[in-house]
Amino acid sequence: MSNSNAEMAPASTENRDLERNQNVAYDPVEMLKLMYLSREGDRREGVLHRQSKGWFQVAGMGHETLAVVAKAMKEGDYLFPYYRDRAMVLARGITNAQLATAYFAKAGSSSKGRQMPGHYSDRSKNVWSVPTPTGANALPGCGVAWAMQLEGKPNLVVATVGDAASRQGEFYEAVSFAVERNLPIVFIVEDNNYGISTNTEKFNPFKLGIFNDNLVKHVDARHPDHLHEFMVPILEQARSGNGPSVVVCEIDRLCSHTSSDDHRVYRPKDEIEEMFDRDPIDIYSRELIESAKLTQEEWDSIREEINQQVDQEYIAAENEPDPTEAELFDDLFAAEEPQAVVPPLEGNKTWRMVDAINHIFKQRLASNDQTIFFGEDIEAPKGGVFGMTNDLSHDYPTRAFNSPLAEATIAGVGIGMASYGMRPVFEIQFIDFSGPAMNQIGQNLGTLRWRTGGEWKCPMVMYAPYGAYLPGGSLWHSQANESIFAHLPGIRVVVPGTPEDAAGLMWTAMHADDPTMFLVPKHLFRQQMKVEEVVAVPFGSARVRQEGEDVTIVTWGNCIEQAFEAAKRMDEECSCEIIDLRSIQPWDRDTILESVEKTGRLVVIQEDGRSCSVGQMIITDLLADEEGFYHFVSPPQLVSKPDIHIGYNPIYEYAALPDVDDVVAAIDLTLRE
């Protein structure tokens, strides 16, 4: 990598006729008005917060010049802002009145009062919802850029981060993916030299020479005219298919980090004074007056008019309705449950689960041109490490792609594509490797619909081989982890146990408007199984695999085999009813309760760890309910992997995992009334 400390473009010292030879109209006076509107909104929120009207404020004072970037964008372009981009979102058409409503967290705000101020969102303006974890917008931005590129759209994405967030690993992944795919995206790094209280000088990757000079461009962004002149060709480069750019904008943060911070504690007084001498609004207004593009009287009138506007809009916003407690539960998923449709899988035939899934993948690609596959090694000739994507890239070369070995990229790009309107079906090679993707899964995948009041949605399927019972997997090819994903609101989690259920659940997930984590049990998916009838499989519906009268066994995934073998061994002593849960989130409480009402006994089998697990949740839920509690004639039993890792030696693996003897012992305990 070459050193990126290229000479920074100097700030403009005079106004230029920036419309010459440019297609983007630019009005200096209108830009000044917009910058001042942003500043006055920030100032007003600061006053309100000090008056204990509102709970929090994050300001963008000093960052107002970046509005010129948003103004230079075109219809159909997307902005992925961060929380200091008030001026940018105003330039994209979000109104100050909307921001005032968001400040007071009112029911009519873009998040219905669920997001902090500064977390902008507007689907109609293509302003993507700001996630608080800085840098978490970059990979979804790449997803939208890739989707537009695949569709041949003449549009681009602008994604912004602070300089501190440029050290996030996801930022590096996003830039790498953008360069790899030659995406129409421009990353704006707003370099105000601080990450809360930490001076970023020694951490800044652009001052450490991490990035290539050909990719990174530096600019003193304190002057709007110069910044506009600098940015228009960069945006056009991305729009015309000539690749992404990273633009490092030197700028000042003229305020504390948030209302919970006081920058006078860690910033020297002379530094603050020098910074205010560079206030872009003061400098720009003087220049426009000196160049006779604006008179002092006009400027005074503009400020007075904006001050009154802002004052009135915040008074009105304060009096708008608050959300109700009942609305807390709205928008986690689509208002209507996804309709389960019979999957196109032939019945009265023997299938392997892996083949059934591959067949469904092909059927989906044939019937829906918005479906995209992406994952490590999924292209031909490999077709995935387990063959689930065999022939997809051969038959659909523009819709099935290998990914880099970067799970955060897989998740984040998929989230962006789904929010744009694509239907991504993306693979994590093993669920054990989902760790690098957890920021995107936890912060964006399950929150996007809820945090935007249903305005944005994320219809993505993320699937992964899951579980153990294949000797030699060791620590990182044997994990289950379904409880981790079940703890994340807004994500459905399913684990099929048969080829027809795999096909049915996948088909349902592919037609749903919300994200699904689809876990494929490795021990089962190469087994030949007779498929009699193929039916629609809705979320939250368990399947009674064997009827019985004395003991209810609830399990899912790989442990289904242990359940059947244990029931067979206990056949002379008791009759076991076996329920395949299939859907972890949501789960079918009614079917289990109905069975327990009949049998009075319950054994839950899982290969995930015991503590804080799905199995514990099921038992606790049924016991905590008065109706459920009095159905039990004996204490319910959980057969589970202890809270321990799985070792490479099969002795360790079999010692850790539930086996038939464990299940038989648990059944026997329930029979001792």
Question: Mind spelling out the 3-state secondary structure of 291-320?
Answer: CCCCCHHHHHHHHHHHHHHHHHHHHHHHCC
Catalytic residue among 63, 218, 359, 477: 477
Q: Is 511 a catalytic residue?
A: no
- pLDDT for the residue 18: 33
Examine the pLDDT at 13 and tell me if it is beyond 70. no
Q: If you ran DSSP here, which 8-state letter would residue 269 be given? A: H
User: Is residue 268 a part of any domain in this protein?
Assistant: yes
Rounded percentage of the chain residues whose pLDDT exceeds 90? 94
Q: What is the pLDDT of residues 237-259, one digit of tens each?
A: 999 999 999 999 999 999 999 99
Examine the pLDDT at 7 and tell me if it is beyond 50. no
Tokens for 150?
Answer: 């695949």
Do both 311 and 404 map to the same domain?
no
Do both 496 and 404 map to the same domain?
yes
Do both 183 and 300 map to the same domain?
yes
Q: What is the pLDDT of residues 148-187, one digit of tens each?
A: 999 999 999 999 999 999 999 999 999 999 999 999 999 9
In whole angstroms, what separates CA 651 from the centre of its chain?
Answer: 39
User: Is residue 144 a part of any domain in this protein?
Assistant: yes
Domain extent at residue 447? 349-531
- pLDDT for the residue 147: 99
Examine the pLDDT at 32 and tell me if it is beyond 70. yes
**Cα torsion angle, 605, 611, 614, 618, sign:** positive
Q: What is the pLDDT of residues 265-289, one digit of tens each?
A: 999 999 999 999 999 999 999 999 9
Do both 66 and 88 map to the same domain?
yes
Contact 639, 658 (CB under 8 A): yes
pTM metric for this prediction: 0.94
Q: Which residues contact 586 (CB under 8 A, 6 or more apart)?
A: 492, 539, 540
User: Is residue 49 a part of any domain in this protein?
Assistant: yes
Compute the average pLDDT of residues 199-228. Answer: 94
Do both 491 and 560 map to the same domain?
no
Do both 54 and 94 map to the same domain?
yes
Tokens for 406?
Answer: 């970067």
User: Is residue 15 a part of any domain in this protein?
Assistant: no
**What pLDDT band is residue 650 in, cutting at 50, 70 and 90?**
very high
Q: What is the pLDDT of residues 298-320, one digit of tens each?
A: 999 999 999 999 999 999 999 99
User: Is residue 322 a part of any domain in this protein?
Assistant: yes
Q: Indicate the number of domains in the chain.
A: 3
User: Is residue 16 a part of any domain in this protein?
Assistant: no
Which CATH number belongs to the domain containing residue 320 in this structure? 3.40.50.970
User: Is residue 21 a part of any domain in this protein?
Assistant: no
**What pLDDT band is residue 673 in, cutting at 50, 70 and 90?**
low
